[in-house]
Amino acid sequence: MGCNKLATLMKVARVTRDYIKPSSITPPHLRNFKFSLLDQLAPSLYAPMVFFYPMQDISNIKAATSYRVNHLKRSLSPFLNRFYPFAGRIKDHVSIDCNDAGVEFFEAKVINTCLNDFLRLPNANALKQFLPVDIESNKSMDHLVHVQTNTFECGGMALGICWSHKITDGGTASTFMKGWSSMASGLGDEVVPEYVASSLFPPMDSSIKQHALKLDKDRTTTRRFVFDGSKIVKLKDKVASKEVPKPTRVEAVSSLLWQCATKASRANSGSQALSVMSQSMNIRRRTLPPLPDTSIGNLVGYYIAKMEENSDHIMHLEDLVTKQRQGKTEAINNYAKKLQGNDAYVVIQELFKEAGSLLRRDDVEFFKCLSTCGDGLYDADFGWGKPAWQSLVSLGYKNTFALSETKEGGGIEAWVTLNEDDMAIFEHDLNLLQFASSNPSVIEIQSEQELLKQVERRLIFDDPTYDFTLLTW
| 471 in Cβ contact with 459 (< 8 Å) | yes
| 153 in Cβ contact with 58 (< 8 Å) | no
Q: Which of 39, 117, 146, 165 is catalytic?
A: 165
Longest dimension (CA), the chain: 73
Nearest residue to 109 via CA among 176, 154, 143: 154
Please say if 313 is a catalytic residue.
no
> SS3 letters for the chain?
CCHHHHHHHCEEEEEEEEEECCCCCCCHHHCEEECCHHHHHCCCCEEEEEEEECCCCCCCHHHHHHHHHHHHHHHHHHHHHHCHHHHCEECCCCEEECCCCCEEEEEEEEECCCHHHHHHCCCHHHHHHHCCCCCCCCCCCCECEEEEEEECCCCCEEEEEEEECCCECHHHHHHHHHHHHHHHHCCCCCCCCECCHHHHCCCCCCCCCCCCCCCCCCCEEEEEEEECHHHHHHHHHHHCCCCCCCCCHHHHHHHHHHHHHHHHHHHHHCCCCEEEEEEEEECCCCCCCCCCCCECECCEEEEEEEECCCCCCCCCHHHHHHHHHHHHHHHHHHCHHHCCCCCHHHHHHHHHHHHHHHHCCCCEEEEEEEECCCCCHHHCCCCCCCCCEEEECCCCCCCEEEEEECCCCCCEEEEEEEEHHHHHHHCCCHHHHCCCEECCCCCCHHHHHHHHHHHHHHHHHHCCCCCHHHCCC
Please say if 165 is a catalytic residue.
yes
Q: Which of 169, 228, 381, 422 is catalytic?
A: 381
Residues composing the chain: 473
Which residues have a catalytic role annotated? 165, 381
